[in-house]
Chain A
């Protein structure tokens, strides 16, 4: 489904991604972890073309992200994305957040978009908040709305960039629960997170990044069990101490 092949990217002189390769098959859940600044956000943003890269290739469902003729807005509309700071649109209501792209991008009519939106809000347990503004919700609620907003586009895959790291501890689980459910429904997911509990529960594979390189790319059992690179070990021991 998502095929990342030898992707390199530079910001001026600084190389932020170095020959990154990995594949995410349909229905697979891949967790990406690694120290801050290792290039996780940059890599995940390359997948839906929010960031450009100079070398290598990424294809999503057979479409090359970096190719000249690719219609990026259309490709992006098929890939859901959830951000660290939710990024709900603060000037419109929750339901309008979910309706907007359905109407403007997919061409659905008001009624259809609203019905679909309310259904998804029910699914994440927030149908009663539909007419509130994002600022009136807690962080955990906002992130669940953001997931519903992405799902409203009927995506073929979902990208998550540290979806719980801006949340108070007591709100992390309500978001992870939604993600676990999504994974068990068979959604293809690329998830940047340090929630190793989540990785243990639902990940098929774990990718470990360091200084712009993919240092480990293995099954969950290998990652948590078998010996591995020094960097990954020290990273893991730090993470698991919390």
Chain B
């Protein structure tokens, strides 16, 4: 079975796979940034003393956390064009789905991060005359994010893997590109071994980086 393992086909398809990988990276990066921004807003809403806002944010989080990602991807693929009244292309629909979905998880991470800041730090900011928003921005959130770096990176690694689910709506990410080549060239083994190795190496590198960070900063 491994006797005719064709390395040439891997090398030849690299440029094509790289295009797919760019889509995967783009999805991951946008979902992380968008998810963190929206997640921060959700976390601040949940933590605010304003009950209706806290309730809405809480419901949002619970809703998305009880939905399988794959279902959310499907929905948005059909829903976003309907809402906007025009076709937007699967990629943008999926992007929206990922940002909204990830935000629910980032919200909970950030909420825990904010609560990890010692109450006396918050008192200290208040005692200097900082308003609530200033205290959040200059004192609490910077410390919260620093405490959260390892878990944020871990979440990013999971997200990077989860983006492969976009194959269900035919977005040409890294995995789908490999699948196309595999079928066209009838080289399933070569391509899927390559895919596995690439995912494994990237995620392992990410995990090792997180662990080093944790050790050197005692996070």
Interface residues of A (CB under 8 A from B): 45, 48, 50, 73-74, 76-81, 83, 85, 87-92, 100-101, 104-106, 149-150, 153
Stretch in B128-136, B149-157, B190-198 with 4+ CB within 8 Å of A: B128-136
Instruction: Give the A-B contact count at a CB cut-off of 8 A.
Output: 61
Chain A residues within an 8 Å CB radius of B131? 73
Known contacts A89-B139, A90-B143, A77 near B129 by CB under 8 Å:
yes
Contact: B123 with A45, CB < 8 Å? Answer: yes
Q: Which 8 A-B pairs have the closest CB atoms?
A: A77-B129, A87-B124, A101-B128, A81-B127, A105-B129, A76-B129, A73-B129, A91-B142
Contact residues, B59-90 vs A (CB, 8 A): none
Interface residues of B in 136-173 (CB under 8 A from A): 138-139, 142-143, 146
Query: Interface size on B (CB < 8 Å)?
Result: 17
Could you list which residues of chain B lie within 8 angstroms of chain A, going by C-beta atoms?
Answer: 120-121, 123-131, 134, 138-139, 142-143, 146
B191 CB to nearest chain A CB (Å): 46
Task: Give chain A nearest CB distance to B140 CB in angstroms.
Answer: 10
Q: Are A104 and B130 in contact (CB under 8 A)?
A: yes
Which one, A76, A85, A101, contacts B120 given CB within 8 A? A85
Offer 15 A-B interface pairs, CB within 8 angstroms, sorted by A.
A45-B123, A50-B127, A73-B129, A76-B127, A81-B124, A81-B127, A87-B123, A89-B124, A89-B138, A89-B139, A92-B142, A104-B130, A104-B138, A150-B128, A153-B129
Q: Are A105 and B130 closer than 8 Å at their CB atoms?
A: yes
Chain B contacts for A77, CB-based, 8 A = 128-129
**A83 and B128 form a contact (CB under 8 A):** no
Q: Of A50, A80, A100, A150, which contacts B126 at CB under 8 A? A: A50
